[in-house]
């Protein structure tokens, strides 16, 4: 079992192995202690059919009373409406401040579960059980929780660290290749901001479905995120480097009505930023070519169907805007990015310089 300890406002472990769902009850008991009696599993309808049964059995064998809240899959459920339904369900199920939530699923489930845990009774514990590579390498770690508003992605939320993260690699077997790509994009991003050697590994990794490749990508990406989160839990400084490709990526998601998934949008966003930075002379070396090589290694579709004007309009509603400036993450060297504030009036021209 791989174990990474995160030390933030709460110290917790990220455990990676095969067969963790069957051991979840015992591992959660060790993390939460004996005071917790009731657990609410939060999941979407697709994951519910696959994994709620084994998880619920493991939790009940460990002595927990369990209830289950399931919601329709998709970005539209990451909403105030679903959050309200979940909070009402928790109240009706009579969870107390010594009980806890378990988020079983991808990033939407984890973000929703974490925000509900931060809000219900002014804060109760929760556990992340990611079932997508994207959630495992990124959203399940670090304590960012939230939902979307009509104006944009993740505009309401809270910093609320989980008590434990359990990543069962066996759940990757039911993912489509496109869903695996979403996670690979975040792993490539981690390499771009902090680990040049990760690109060397990716060039040798020709099978994204290989459990050993998944294990290595996830472990290294989580370790990078650990270092960043521990240095800047509240996202006021160095943690913003984790947003490489995300400002434009979120804009692509919004313009597509979320038909372009997060990882695919971030992959396109990283190429736009890298190309623009290269053309403007902001990069000290060519970061675009190795990035494209890494993304092409896994056959990412990288064509952007939107104009600079459309993307800039969507990006200016992003939470990374501060007054009349917006912060971009610029690749200076491969494995070394820096934050750069630009006036919002220059964003459209910047994006234009990164489009093909």
Task: Give the tens place of pLDDT for each residue, 105-156.
Answer: 999 999 999 999 999 999 999 999 999 999 999 999 999 999 999 888 899 9
Per-residue model confidence (pLDDT) at position 319: 65
Q: Are 43 and 116 in contact (CB under 8 A)?
A: no
pLDDT digit string, tens, across residues 224-282: 999 999 999 999 899 999 999 999 999 999 999 999 999 999 999 999 999 999 999 99
pLDDT digit string, tens, across residues 295-306: 998 999 999 999
The arithmetic mean of pLDDT across residues 37-66, rounded, is: 98
Contacts of 136 (CB under 8 A, 6+ apart): 16, 130, 167, 183, 218, 222
Instruction: Characterize 136-145 residue by residue with b for buried, 16 or more Cβ atoms within 10 angstroms of its Cβ, and e for exposed.
Output: bbbbbbbbbb
Residue 258, judged by CB atoms within 10 A of its CB (0-12, 13-18, 19+), counts as middle
Q: Are 270 and 348 in contact (CB under 8 A)?
A: no
Q: What is the mean pLDDT of the chain?
A: 95
Q: Are 17 and 7 in contact (CB under 8 A)?
A: no
Upper half-sphere CA count for residue 105 (Cβ side, 13 Å): 28
The arithmetic mean of pLDDT across residues 191-219, rounded, is: 90
Please report the sign of the dihedral spanned by the C-alpha atoms of residue 110, residue 139, residue 45, residue 175. Answer: negative
The arithmetic mean of pLDDT across residues 37-48, rounded, is: 98
- Record the tokens describing residue 278, joined without a space: 């290269």
Three-state DSSP class for residue 311: helix
Query: pLDDT grade, residue 204 (50/70/90)?
Result: confident
The arithmetic mean of pLDDT across residues 19-31, rounded, is: 98
Global pTM? 0.95
Query: pLDDT grade, residue 202 (50/70/90)?
Result: confident
The arithmetic mean of pLDDT across residues 335-349, rounded, is: 95
Per-residue model confidence (pLDDT) at position 152: 86
Q: Whole-angstrom Cα distance, residue 66 to residue 131? A: 19
Q: Report in angstroms the alpha-carbon separations of 115 from 11, 110, 120, 125, 145.
A: 18, 9, 9, 11, 5
Query: pLDDT grade, residue 335 (50/70/90)?
Result: very high
Residue 266, judged by CB atoms within 10 A of its CB (0-12, 13-18, 19+), counts as buried
35: DSSP letter? S
Q: Whole-angstrom Cα distance, residue 145 to residue 115? A: 5
Query: pLDDT grade, residue 161 (50/70/90)?
Result: very high
Q: Are 51 and 21 in contact (CB under 8 A)?
A: yes
Task: Give, for 349, the enclosing helix (H) or strand (E).
Answer: helix 347-352
């Amino acid at each position: 079992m791989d174990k990474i300890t995160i030390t933030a406002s709460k110290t917790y472990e990220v455990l990676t192995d095969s067969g963790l769902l069957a051991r979840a009850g015992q591992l959660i008991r060790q993390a939460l202690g004996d005071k917790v009696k009731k657990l609410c599993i939060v999941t979407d309808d697709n994951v519910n059919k696959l994994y709620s049964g084994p998880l619920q059995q493991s939790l009940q064998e460990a002595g927990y009373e369990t209830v289950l809240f399931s919601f329709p899959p998709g970005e539209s459920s990451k909403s105030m409406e679903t959050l309200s339904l979940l909070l009402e369900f928790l109240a009706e199920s009579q969870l107390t401040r010594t009980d806890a939530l378990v988020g079983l699923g991808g990033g939407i489930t984890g973000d929703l579960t974490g925000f509900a845990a931060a809000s219900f009774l002014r804060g109760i514990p929760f556990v992340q059980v990611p079932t997508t590579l994207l959630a495992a390498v990124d959203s399940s770690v670090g304590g960012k929780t939230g939902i979307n508003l009509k104006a944009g992605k993740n505009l309401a939320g809270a910093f609320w660290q989980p008590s434990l993260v359990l990543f069962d690699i066996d759940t990757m077997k039911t993912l489509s290749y496109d869903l695996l790509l979403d996670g690979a994009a975040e792993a490539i991003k981690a390499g771009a901001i902090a680990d040049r050697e990760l690109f060397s590994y990716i060039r040798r990794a020709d099978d994204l479905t290989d459990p050993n490749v998944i294990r290595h990508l996830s472990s290294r990406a989580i370790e990078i995120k650990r270092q960043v989160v521990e240095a800047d839990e509240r996202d006021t400084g160095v943690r913003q480097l984790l947003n490489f490709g995300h400002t434009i990526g979120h804009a692509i998601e919004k313009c597509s009505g979320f038909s372009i998934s997060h990882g695919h949008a971030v992959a396109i966003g990283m190429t736009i930023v890298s190309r623009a930075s290269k053309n403007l002379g902001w990069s000290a070396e060519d970061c675009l070519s190795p990035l494209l090589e890494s993304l092409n290694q896994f056959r990412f579709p990288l064509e952007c169907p939107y104009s600079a004007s459309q993307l800039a309009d969507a990006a200016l509603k992003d939470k990374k805007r501060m007054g009349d400036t917006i912060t971009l993450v610029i690749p200076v060297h491969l494995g070394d990015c820096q934050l750069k504030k630009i006036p919002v009036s220059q964003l459209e021209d910047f994006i234009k310089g990164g489009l093909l």
